[in-house]
């Protein structure tokens, strides 16, 4: 069979193509780049979804944010609701690739590519996001933990299209952050990363979420770290215990960018930084986006 590409203008058309064996492409920043790098050849049958207007929408309602699959990292990073209420997601989106990547890379693509090092996964997981999946035969909604199955793998069937990401906005006194360790300023992939979401009741933490990036086969939460934070004052001691729990929960690979030992050691550092920034934001401090730079990480 020779290569083919069909440009879909509706979701119905796209899922019909998927049912017939096509693979979707939007910005191409993972799929096409991966093919150029020799990871996997481009699928023979492609359906381009970039023209589907419905999937481009981003809509903030009173208590929620709905992001169509085609919303780009640049749009998310600039969105006032994302910056003020889902700050960890802004931290993540603004450091993806370069400004060219952010202009064409999409939230749907970032999630469905399912890299354990993806930037948006930790924030979306800790903010309890769900995704809507549609196929020619029906639709369903799953949480991020349920979606991510392993490196490059999701639980979505090959004929399912990610249509939308949905997040219920957390209470306004919630602070969140995403911090990654990086060696260069652009086109970087997280060496390791951590997300924290914190809300206080008085001077004690009432709600805490912690997730790890590039430290396990998927982005995942660390319940022991969350338990260590809840009831604490988010001080040095509690953050240390949580950071140790993060290291204990990590099972990183060794690859060209870092050894497993180095990743585990750095897991405690990024976890401490993420927790400190989230706690400060929860207390109303203005820590600029991205937290990776604001918390002292990353090359200058």
Interface residues with other proteins (CB under 8 A) are 2-5, 7, 25, 27-29, 32-33, 35-37, 42, 46, 48, 50-51, 74, 97-101, 103-104, 184-187
CB of 50 to other proteins, least distance (A): 6
Which is closer to other proteins, CB of 1 or CB of 286?
1
Which is closer to other proteins, CB of 113 or CB of 155?
113
Which is closer to other proteins, CB of 4 or CB of 137?
4
Question: What values do phi and psi take at 277, rounded to 5?
Answer: -70, -45
CB of 184 to other proteins, least distance (A): 8
CB of 116 to other proteins, least distance (A): 20
Which is closer to other proteins, CB of 4 or CB of 63?
4
CB of 145 to other proteins, least distance (A): 29
Which is closer to other proteins, CB of 2 or CB of 172?
2
| CB-count burial class (<10 Å; 0-12, 13-18, 19+) for 39 | exposed
CB of 188 to other proteins, least distance (A): 9
Taking a C-beta distance cutoff of 8 angstroms, is the pair 187, 101 a contact? yes
- Quick one: tokens of 114? 């399912």
DSSP H helical ranges for 49-147: 73-78, 80-85, 87-93, 99-104, 107-113, 121-126, 144-147
Give CA separation, 202 vs 101, 127, 194, in Å.
41, 21, 25
9's CB contacts (< 8 A; 6+ apart) are 51, 52, 53
Q: Name the one residue in this structure whose structure tokens are 């990610």.
A: 162
Q: Are strands 130-135 and 64-68 parallel, antiparallel or unpaired?
A: unpaired
Give the count of beta carbons closer than 10 Å to the beta carbon of residue 236: 10
CB of 266 to other proteins, least distance (A): 22
CB of 101 to other proteins, least distance (A): 7
Q: Name the one residue in this structure whose structure tokens are 């349920």.
A: 146
The two most distant CA atoms of the chain are separated, in Å, by 64
Taking a C-beta distance cutoff of 8 angstroms, is the pair 124, 46 a contact? no
Which is closer to other proteins, CB of 4 or CB of 153?
4
């Amino acid at each position: 069979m020779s290569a083919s590409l069909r440009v879909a203008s509706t979701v119905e058309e796209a899922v019909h193509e998927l049912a017939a064996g096509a693979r979707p492409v939007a910005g191409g920043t993972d799929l096409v780049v991966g093919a150029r790098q020799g990871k996997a050849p481009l699928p023979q049958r492609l359906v381009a979804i970039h023209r589907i207007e419905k999937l481009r929408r981003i809509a903030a309602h009173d208590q929620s944010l709905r992001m169509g699959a085609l919303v780009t990292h640049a749009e998310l990073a600039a969105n006032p609701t994302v910056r003020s209420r889902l700050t960890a997601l802004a931290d993540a989106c603004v450091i993806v690739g370069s400004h060219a990547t952010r202009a064409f890379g999409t939230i749907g693509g970032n999630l469905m590519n399912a890299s354990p090092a993806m930037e948006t996964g930790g924030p979306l997981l800790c903010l309890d996001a769900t995704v809507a999946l549609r196929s020619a035969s029906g639709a369903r909604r799953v949480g991020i933990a349920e979606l991510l199955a392993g490196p490059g793998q999701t639980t979505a069937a090959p004929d399912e299209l990610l249509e939308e990401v949905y997040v219920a906005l957390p209470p306004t006194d919630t602070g969140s952050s995403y911090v990654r360790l990086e060696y260069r300023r652009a086109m970087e992939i997280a060496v390791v990363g951590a997300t924290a979401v914190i809300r206080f009741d008085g001077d004690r933490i009432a709600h805490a979420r912690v997730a790890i990036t590039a430290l396990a086969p998927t982005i995942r939460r660390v319940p022991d770290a969350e338990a260590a934070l809840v009831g604490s004052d988010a001080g040095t001691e509690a953050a240390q215990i949580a950071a140790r729990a993060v290291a204990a929960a990590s099972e990183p690979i060794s690859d060209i960018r870092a050894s497993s030992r180095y990743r585990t050691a750095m897991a405690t550092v990024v976890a401490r930084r993420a927790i400190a920034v989230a706690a400060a934001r929860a207390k109303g401090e203005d820590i600029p986006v991205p937290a990776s730079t604001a918390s002292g990480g990353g090359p200058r």
